[in-house]
Amino acid sequence: MKKTTLSFIFLILITFNLNAQRRGVPNFRDYDFENVHFGFLLGMNQMGFCVKQNFDLLNESTPILFPSAETGLSVDSYLKSVIPSSAPGLTIGITSSFKITDNFYFRFTPAVVWGSRSIKYSIVDRTGKTLDNAADKILSQKTFNSYLIELPLILRFQGSRIQNTEPFVQAGLKYTHTLNNDEEIINKDVPDKFPLNLKKDDVYGVFGLGFNFYFDWFKMGVEGSMNYGLQDILKRSTTETMYEKGITSLKSKYFQLSVTFE
């Protein structure tokens, strides 16, 4: 995440410097008088989870043991922690912007999102020994390769244009549908009898900010946004496994850095 943030700031500084070299008549002046604009979006994302752990189950003073038949390990064990992790992904989409007033715009930016995210389970046996480094490590981590279609409805406030630069903030809602949310099988010779399933549909709250830069024939936008899932996406089985019992709620989240051309 730190590298992504630094890249975001670095890109803004470079682009701002290029525009600062052009003084005099503002670029692309006709853009401000048009009511509808279209373009495309390229972005990078950091997809992950917000996990609310079941601390009653993870209480070490009175642990709930799981039999070896369920964990796939050689001894009875219990969960110690459930920790999410994220990985970089890509976003490609199209943009449409509709002018409401001189400063407010309604934006519809459908996109396809590729990303990967994981949940790591720290499993401890009855003696307190951590089993993270056991041969059956596949059973202590769930990794998902996700492919999403997202349909965001965004309200943007654009500040006053300063020469060829324009700041903005935006917020809205986003509906997503998962095309493929397969759990990655790390070791195909060790089948996982207890997969973790996720719901295909989700709704996000979105908040972002950035800058628009005007050139002679187009406008480029650089924006960063946080996307937080509003509902529990864990699809529980009829008989909950240890992987499901350790989680009270599981919500999606991801940070996205985008460049738009209109």
pLDDT of residue 5: 55
pLDDT of residue 185: 44
pLDDT of residue 253: 92
pLDDT of residue 98: 94
pLDDT of residue 231: 93
- For residue 209, give the nearest of 161, 262, 172, 162 by alpha carbon: 172
pLDDT of residue 95: 95
pLDDT of residue 218: 86
Measured CA to CA, the distance from residue 123 to residue 225 in angstroms comes to 35
pLDDT of residue 198: 86
Tell me which fold the domain 2-261 belongs to: Porin (2.40.160)
pLDDT of residue 243: 78
Q: What b/e sequence results for 145-172 when a residue is b if at least 16 CB atoms lie within 10 Å of its CB, and e otherwise?
A: ebebebebebebebeebeebbbebebeb
Domain ranges of the chain: 2-261
Mean pLDDT per 10-residue section of the chain, whose length is 262 residues: 52 51 63 86 93 74 55 61 87 94 93 90 65 48 86 93 89 91 46 72 95 88 94 83 83 93 91
